Amino acid sequence: MCDFDVYQGSNNGLRAKSELGLFGDVVIKLASTLPEGHSYKVYADNFFTSVPLVEKLLDRGIHYVGTARQVRLPNCNLEDDKSLKKKGRGAFDHRVEVKHKISGIKWYDNRAVTLVSFFAGTEPVEKIQRWDKFNKTYIEVEKPHIVGIYNKYMGGVDLLDSFTAKYKFPVKFRRWYMYIFWHTITLAVVNAWLIYKQDCKALGVSPKETLNLTASILSHSEGHNQD
């Protein structure tokens, strides 16, 4: 975790209107600290994705990959879910926006998912293994390149959530901001452990001697209690 933004709602029931909407404004705000012209890549889910957002980031030399809701892709006539389902798992359709060369790709696995990107497309198509419940065997399924890229880097968000979930505290507060305070402390502990792991690897410490996240927090707590 490098940065985050706390949604504070509207101001007296009003919120400044933006062409990007609330979801896009959050991405622009968090990306504002990135230097321009370094081809940074931003990954986000369908809550944030829209074509105007991708265009805005491109103006700053920042690339984007994200899942998307069809309603936020005007004039992008991708095949409907039923049509792709009939073709079977691994079927996909794609369109490319002419002006900025933004790709819209819909891929069907267990269900249809739509992704948008400027720098990633369908090629190279990868062959992956999927379990076929009906035939009770593994089958080969085609997966567009953009899906693999998205899964690889969006996994970091899920990983962070799993780390912080280990330290959910049962205490209840009347003041809402206390939850933000303790969540910030938890994020600091997780970040410190990740840096510790990097240092251990650089120093040649074996994985067996490297403390896992749970052991790290317990040893810290015991030391604090003794003090």
Residues 79 and 32 in one domain: yes
DSSP-derived 3-state class of residue 145: helix
- Count Cα neighbours of 95 within 13 Å in the Cβ-side half-sphere: 15
User: Is 4 inside any structural domain?
Assistant: no
- Based on the structure, what is the number of domains in the chain? 2
**Do the Cβ atoms of 152 and 143 come closer than 8 Å?**
no
Residues 136 and 212 in one domain: no
The residue out of 104, 132, 153 marking a domain boundary is 153
User: Is 10 inside any structural domain?
Assistant: no
Residues 125 and 201 in one domain: no
Q: Tell me the C-alpha distance between 220 and 197, whole Å.
A: 16
Residues 148 and 207 in one domain: no
pLDDT band at 75 (very low <50, low <70, confident <90, very high): confident
pLDDT band at 106 (very low <50, low <70, confident <90, very high): very high
pLDDT band at 11 (very low <50, low <70, confident <90, very high): low
Residues 44 and 134 in one domain: yes
Q: Which domain holds residue 193?
A: 166-219
Residues 146 and 177 in one domain: no
The residue out of 153, 180, 208 marking a domain boundary is 153
Helix pair angle (21-31, 51-59), 10° resolution:
20
Residues 136 and 70 in one domain: yes
User: Is 75 inside any structural domain?
Assistant: yes
Residues 93 and 28 in one domain: yes
> Can you say whether residue 12 is alpha, beta or left, with left for phi > 0 and alpha for psi between -120 and 50 degrees?
left
The residue out of 98, 125, 153 marking a domain boundary is 153
Q: Tell me the C-alpha distance between 65 and 41, whole Å.
A: 8
**Do the Cβ atoms of 109 and 148 come closer than 8 Å?**
no
Q: Which of 16-25, 96-105, 131-140, 201-210 has the weakest average pLDDT?
A: 16-25
**Do the Cβ atoms of 128 and 151 come closer than 8 Å?**
no
User: Is 42 inside any structural domain?
Assistant: yes
Q: Is 54 exposed, middle or buried (0-12, 13-18, 19+ CB in 10 A)?
A: buried
User: Is 176 inside any structural domain?
Assistant: yes
User: Is 53 inside any structural domain?
Assistant: yes
Q: Which residues pair with 138 in a beta bridge?
A: 131
Query: Tokens standing for 90?
Result: 């691994």
* CB neighbourhood size of 39 (10 A): 9
Residues 208 and 119 in one domain: no
Q: Which of 27-36, 87-96, 106-115, 208-217 has the weakest average pLDDT?
A: 208-217
- Count Cα neighbours of 57 within 13 Å in the Cβ-side half-sphere: 33
Residues 63 and 84 in one domain: yes
Residues 100 and 49 in one domain: yes
Secondary structure letter of residue 72 according to DSSP: G
Residues 203 and 108 in one domain: no
User: Is 11 inside any structural domain?
Assistant: no
Helix spans in the chain (H): 21-31, 51-59, 81-87, 145-165, 177-203, 213-226
Helix pair angle (177-203, 145-165), 10° resolution:
110
User: Is 226 inside any structural domain?
Assistant: no
pLDDT band at 3 (very low <50, low <70, confident <90, very high): confident
